[in-house]
Amino acid sequence: MQQAIRMRMSIQILEKPTIAHDPLEALEAVAGLMEIEVERVDDAELHLAVPGAWRDAGVWFTWRPEVSTLQLGAPLDIKAPSNRVGDAAKLVTLVNERLWVGHFDLWSEDLAIVYRNGIILSDDAALDPQQAQNLISATAEAVDRFYPAFNYLVWGGKSPEDALKASLFDTVGSA
């Protein structure tokens, strides 16, 4: 006869040190440490100019305390021409399949291509410094990695598949 063994586990949640309970203040402080240009628009919005490989990414963060959600967006300053909306949408889909966090959108209003991400925080709205840095870094990496694909599609006239392939090309070795 097998005997069931029950273990009681006690889970204790320890408060992590945070820069501030306002997630925008935490982002502002971390961006300052990363030497990123910051503009606090109001109590609910923050803008960053994140340096990138191709261009500085203008990143906006919006805090919605009523739903404990921090949202970010990074417009690529590339708009799909009206005759290439289908191709742009297909490229967005192909790119999003390769992202672990965040996603690209094709905004229907003005056909702008935008990287977006969000995080739901606990009720106390604490955002620790590592989370803040991760959000900023993940945004910069996604924009740097896929900006060329959207550029190849819109300005180079490439198909979605070819634009993606060209942007994922990695150089091996050194010259």
- 63: burial class by Cβ within 10 Å (0-12, 13-18, 19+)? buried
At 134, list the tokens. 């991760």
Quote the pTM value: 0.81
- Stretch (H or E) spanning 92: helix 85-96
Q: What percentage of the chain reaches a pLDDT higher than 90?
A: 70
pLDDT at 4 over 90: no
Cβ within 8 Å of residue 3, ≥6 positions away: none
The token pair at 111 is: 């056909």
Q: How confident is the model at residue 170 (pLDDT cuts 50, 70, 90)?
A: low
Amino acid occupying residue 165: K
Tokens 């924009």 map to which residue?
143
User: Under 8 Å CB-to-CB from 144, ≥6 apart: which residues?
Assistant: 52, 53, 54
Domains identified in the chain and CATH numbers: 23-168 (3.30.1460.10)
Place of tokens 């989370």: 131
Q: Which two tokens stand for residue 78?
A: 């590339």
Express each pLDDT in 67-119 by its tens digit.
Answer: 889 999 999 999 999 999 999 999 999 999 999 999 999 999 999 999 999 99
Q: How far apart are CA 52 and CA 118, in angstroms?
A: 20
